[in-house]
């Protein structure tokens, strides 16, 4: 795990694959405390990435910083952008606006056309950056933060993510899901400064197919 920025109120880190984002044994807060060498450090999860997904995350170092960052998210002033590699060739630009239902028994998110108590609106926009050998690199702007949203929506619309064992294609043998938290943009909870961070995906397949065009 790499800490790319820290001050007394926030930490920006690269979350590895296979680690939970929340305060569970072995989760990201525990890893950050170990990296800081302080098992009692205040590290608060502000947003989440799926356990299988890697990339940029910001953590709060105080209760007030957590409150202010959470307020930015609620007001949609906290911007998250992702890179993904999908099977197929989606439109050059597009948007998915769906209703999502979480199935806790199967731990899956399903697209539905029926409104209901547990059904939530999901909206994202994307841009196709390149296509190689039947795979497309897309940038994704997430406007709502539903569980498995990007994975479920792209799969539903016919473009499952490479390496996705839950929503992807049978026989897909990429070692990790090709979804990466690429950019975070928000206002610093204490100074009010605009914070804008980017991080490239790892140098492994299928990302290496798009090395020449990765932002």
pLDDT category of residue 117 using cuts at 50, 70 and 90: confident
Question: Which residue in the list 7, 50, 172, 196 is annotated as catalytic?
Answer: 50
Give tens-digit pLDDT for 71-103.
999 998 999 999 999 999 999 999 999 999 999
Cα 167 to Cα 119: distance, rounded to the nearest angstrom: 19
Provide the pLDDT for residue 46.
95
Q: What is the mean pLDDT of residues 196-212?
A: 96
Q: Which of 151, 117, 122 is closest to 49 using CA atoms?
A: 151
pLDDT category of residue 153 using cuts at 50, 70 and 90: very high
Provide the pLDDT for residue 1.
77
Provide the pLDDT for residue 158.
97
pLDDT category of residue 131 using cuts at 50, 70 and 90: very high
Q: Which of 93, 95, 66, 94 is closest to 78 using CA atoms?
A: 66
Instruction: List, in sequence order, the alpha helices (H) in 134-181.
Output: 149-156
pLDDT category of residue 215 using cuts at 50, 70 and 90: confident
Provide the pLDDT for residue 116.
87
194 strand-pairing partners: 187
Percentage of residues in the chain having pLDDT higher than 70: 100
**pTM, to two decimals:** 0.93
Strand 44-45 and strand 54-60: the pairing is antiparallel
50 a catalytic residue: yes
Give tens-digit pLDDT for 9-53.
999 999 999 999 998 889 999 999 999 999 999 999 999 999 999
Burial label for 141, CB within 10 Å (0-12, 13-18, 19+), is middle
């Amino acid at each position: 795990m790499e800490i790319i920025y820290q001050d007394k109120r926030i930490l920006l880190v690269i979350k590895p694959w296979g680690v939970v984002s929340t305060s569970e044994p072995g989760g990201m807060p525990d890893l950050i405390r170990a990296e800081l060498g302080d098992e009692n450090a205040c590290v608060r999860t502000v947003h989440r990435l799926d356990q299988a997904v890697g990339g940029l995350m910001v953590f709060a170092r105080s209760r007030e910083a957590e409150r202010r960052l959470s307020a930015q998210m609620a007001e949609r002033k906290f911007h998250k952008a992702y890179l993904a590699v999908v099977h197929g060739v989606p439109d050059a630009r597009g948007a998915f606006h769906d209703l999502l239902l979480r199935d806790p028994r199967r731990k899956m998110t399903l697209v539905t056309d029926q409104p209901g108590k547990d059904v939530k609106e999901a909206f994202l926009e994307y841009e196709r950056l390149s296509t190689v050998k039947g795979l497309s690199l897309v940038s994704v702007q997430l406007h709502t933060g539903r569980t498995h949203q990007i994975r479920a929506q792209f799969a539903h619309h016919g473009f499952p993510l490479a390496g996705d064992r839950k929503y992807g294609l049978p026989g897909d043998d990429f070692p990790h899901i090709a979804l990466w938290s690429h950019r975070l943009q928000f206002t610093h909870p204490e100074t009010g400064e605009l914070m804008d961070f980017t991080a490239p995906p790892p140098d492994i397949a299928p990302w290496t197919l798009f090395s020449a065009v990765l932002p």
